[in-house]
Amino acid sequence: MPESAEGTIAESSRFRLAGVDLLRGLCVLAVVLHHIHLRFVLNEYQVNSVLPETLNQVMFWSAYYAVITFFVISGFLITGLTIRRWEILGNVHAGQFYRMRMARILPCLLLLLLILSILHLLGTAGFVIKPERASLGRALAAALTFHVNWLEGHHGYLPGGWGVLWSLSVEEAFYLLFPLICLVIGGERRLLWPLLCLIILGPISRTLYADQDPWGSYAYLSCTDGIAFGCLAALASARLRISVNVLRLSLIAGASMALIVIIIFNEDEHHWGLARYGLNVTVLEAAIALVLVPLGKGVGNRAMAAGTGWLRAIGRCSYEIYLFHMLVILGLMAWFKQTPRFGIVVIGTYIAMLALSVALGTLVSRFYSEPLNRRLRSVSQGRRRSDARMQLAMPEE
């Protein structure tokens, strides 16, 4: 894609945004690596000292930052696609918006819940919900009404396969309100105010709940500022005329800020005053937003597409990989406990868990979620065309 300063997210949506897919690929790999490593740590294997401390922290303990980045990307993509479909956010059709979200989210979510329910009922180790935390029915209700984060905050963590749904709860709760707020507020300039309120409330929530695990990370207001930053980035990319030089500077500055946060603030003891007040996350969110604005304009698209096809493919399947990777990790961990504990076996298990997690997510995406997503959307579009023809044929009252 040409690096045009006049380009918008609406124009660039005809192409894949290579930089966005790259970010998603890196983020989902960070999440999977963290959960692989965490299983070994929780089972008291001495794996934290294998790599140098800083490299170990960045490679295996960056998952929360990766999820925050996902939130920013999500707000950016959903807002950009909404502008493309309805031109102005105040024109959004709430029913259509919800149908499209359901077509994307529900197929994988329902399949995962079916698998987790079966494994729970079979008493499979690592998948059984502790009765003092929730019944199966209660966990299903939380997953389907997007408050797994609330459930875990009040009653303790669910098994790993369920635990990944906390972030989906935050994201979809935001999108339940997003089209309604756009319709009520109307003008896009007036939408800036609730988005800015969320950005202000984010670090306040993270500070107030800092000592209440997992609320500091899982509470709705602790995370939705990331989605708000993404919405602002999409609006800036679509509405502002920015020179190519400024866009390139934004890309470099945002990437540099993000790397500094990930490297310096990855260890709890390194505060520098920011992490103490939840502002390290705010800086990361702002950094990713600075990166996304030029990416939405097409800056760097060709360069980032060169030689990165495999990572961008992972990014395109990031939702499926994220939802299903714990099935692989917990399954292989049960096998690993029965094997000799040689170093080469540990390394091989890490690699196998990562590779099979990516492979499973890719298969689910290719043969299940994407075909079903397209089918559900085509049915919905067919109904809208039929309704439009009926309205044209009906006399005006």
Contact status, residue 19 vs residue 300, Cβ threshold 8 Å: yes
Residue 178 forms part of a structural domain: yes
Q: What is the pLDDT of residue 341?
A: 66
Q: How many CB atoms lie within 10 A of CB 11?
A: 16
Q: What is the pLDDT of residue 142?
A: 98
Contact status, residue 92 vs residue 182, Cβ threshold 8 Å: yes
CA angle 225–286–56, rounded 5-degree value: 95
Q: What is the pLDDT of residue 50?
A: 84
Question: 71: Cβ–Cβ under 8 A, 6 or more apart, which residues?
Answer: 167, 170, 171, 223, 224, 226, 227, 230, 285
Contact status, residue 361 vs residue 317, Cβ threshold 8 Å: yes
Q: What is the pLDDT of residue 273?
A: 65
Tell which residue, 319, 293, 376, has the closest CA to residue 79: 293
Residue 337 forms part of a structural domain: yes
Q: What is the pLDDT of residue 352?
A: 96
CA angle 297–303–305, rounded 5-degree value: 90
Q: What is the pLDDT of residue 35?
A: 98
Tell which residue, 71, 24, 33, 31, has the closest CA to residue 282: 71
Q: What is the pLDDT of residue 340?
A: 67
The total number of structural domains in the chain stands at 1
Give the global pTM. 0.91
Q: What whole-number distance in Å separates Cα of residue 124 and Cα of residue 165?
A: 19
Half-sphere exposure of 315 (CA within 13 A, CB side): 23
Name the residue type at position 247. L
Residue 378 forms part of a structural domain: yes
Residue 277 forms part of a structural domain: yes
Residue 356 belongs to domain spanning: 9-390
- Give me the average pLDDT of each 10-residue run along the chain (397 residues): 37 67 97 97 88 91 96 97 94 95 96 98 96 97 97 96 97 97 92 97 94 91 97 97 97 96 69 76 97 95 92 97 98 87 83 98 97 86 48 35
Q: What is the pLDDT of residue 265?
A: 76
Residue 321 forms part of a structural domain: yes
Q: Look at residue 153 and give its three-state secondary structure.
A: helix
Residue 29 forms part of a structural domain: yes
DSSP class of residue 158 equals P
